[in-house]
Structure 1
């Protein structure tokens, strides 16, 4: 009898403990949910807009980033855009150097042994780092500017155009934390959207390496697609014949002018 009573009491204690656990579980879950909701409430989505300006074979790639955070949080942060350039396009490193001297953009080529004269089928993808600047017309916006140029492509048999896809860039952020600063508390946007670290130069003018936070973002558009006009293979014979005739004609005229107006001395 005593053993049976002890067993009942033990079962009762177990049931009470389970009930207490069930009572605390939802409360703790609700508290955690509220905490998470509070954190998410402070997270404004990062919006990236990527577009190509101008017409012809020489274009401008414009990238705009909107944070929706207070400028007090962003004024000590820097934004770096890591853009992959497909083989069908090229960026002129000499042009970038000229633009940097005139303080128009802060961009630098990462790829080495880069040939701007090579056609598309002999080229590889390249990489450019662009240090974005705060937009004077938008308190929580950054923008970056990069001139790009079409490469020559092989002629096609039917279609007179080919497509070049410019993928979305990597968005990197570095915030000046200061000594003893708890970065995630001071810059909640890093807690919201940073998911990895990437080593990259701290600034364009020095070679120091910083650990940048790679940020998640939402793009306004899909990947940018450019249409490049190309020649048709059915015109090969005509183009070669006309080019050869013009070359012979011009060479003949030059020789006639030389013998007619030139002065030769033996």
Structure 2
């Protein structure tokens, strides 16, 4: 009987320990928001850690569905001016592809610490909606952004093994990229499970009209360019008459 009680107490102690660890590991909170209006937005990600980062690099890994993308040329310009630090996986993005021909993309966004809060981090990156295939109805298409994954990289300090698990991330921890570090991830409480972007969709019945107007506009513009070139260009007298 005494042995059974000891087993029960030991089991209850282990259960309380597990619940305590889970409670401690789930204190990280993530929020994301789409700023601006229209096809060109800013994706704002905020993270509040359950404990101080202690000099570790903090990032958010977001899954971008085919309906939304980050312009790599715009991103390179922002990184050149130290406005945003992010990595796209894969790095090559076709900015002209429509939604039904575009692949999924992983975005690893470096987060900056809020000077007023030692556990708060955030960053924003410009995102753009892709054109969708014309539909038979006038309802907008929905692009769903799920809650991003919180990442931590500590080159000079250790993380609690019960809270942070190593993950493979296609981005270096440091700006130099030559320090051997390991990214870690933890469970978190998203303020909302998903963020929905509504994208206007054209009507399929308007396709012939749109194609005709586009063709006529192209021919008109080409004619105007050719006429201006012949009038103001430095050509021989018989070039434009041919």
TM-score category (smaller protein): 0.7 to 0.9
Residue aligned with 2:2, SS = helix
Deviations for 1:191-217, whole angstroms, at most 9, x for unmatched residues?
3x32x3113322233144532222101
Return the structure number with greater helix share.
1
Query: Paired residue for 1:198?
Result: 167
Instruction: Work out which of the two has the higher radius of gyration on C-alpha atoms and give 1 or 2.
Output: 1
**1:241, distance to aligned residue in structure 2 (A):** 3.4
Residue number in structure 2 paired with 1:57? 39
**Residue 238 in 1 paired to residue 209 in 2?**
yes
CA contact (8 A) 1:173 1:212 kept: yes
State the Cα deviation string for residues 220-257 of structure 1 (Å, max 9, x = none).
11211111112111112322333444455556666777
Q: Give the 3-state SS of the residue equivalent to 2:100 in structure 1.
A: helix
| Whole-Å separation in 2 of the counterparts to 1:170 and 1:113 | 22
Output one character per residue of 1:105-126: Cα deviation in whole Å (capped at 9) or x when no partner: 1112220443222222221111
SS of structure 2 residue aligned to 1:129: strand
Which residue of the other structure, out of 115, 121, 133, is the alignment partner of 2:94? Answer: 115
Q: What pairs with 1:138-217 in structure 2 (closer than 5 Å)?
A: 138-178=117-157, 183=158, 187-188=159-160, 191=162, 193-194=163-164, 196-200=165-169, 201-217=172-188
State the number of aligned residues: 235
Counterpart of 1:4 in structure 2 is: none
Gapped runs of 5+ residues in structure 1? 1-18
* Cα 1:34/1:205, change in 2 over 3 Å: same
Q: Which residue of 2 aligns with 1:81?
A: 60
Provide the alpha-carbon RMSD of the alignment: 3.0
Unpaired runs of 5+ residues, structure 2, are: none
Q: Indicate if the aligned counterparts of 2:46 and 2:120 stay in contact, CA closer than 8 A.
A: yes
Rounded Cα–Cα distance in structure 2 between residues aligned with 1:256 and 1:177? 67
1:229 to 200, 207, 219: 200
Q: Which residue of the other structure, out of 104, 117, 141, is the alignment partner of 2:83? A: 104
After TM superposition, the score normalised by the length of structure 1 is 0.74
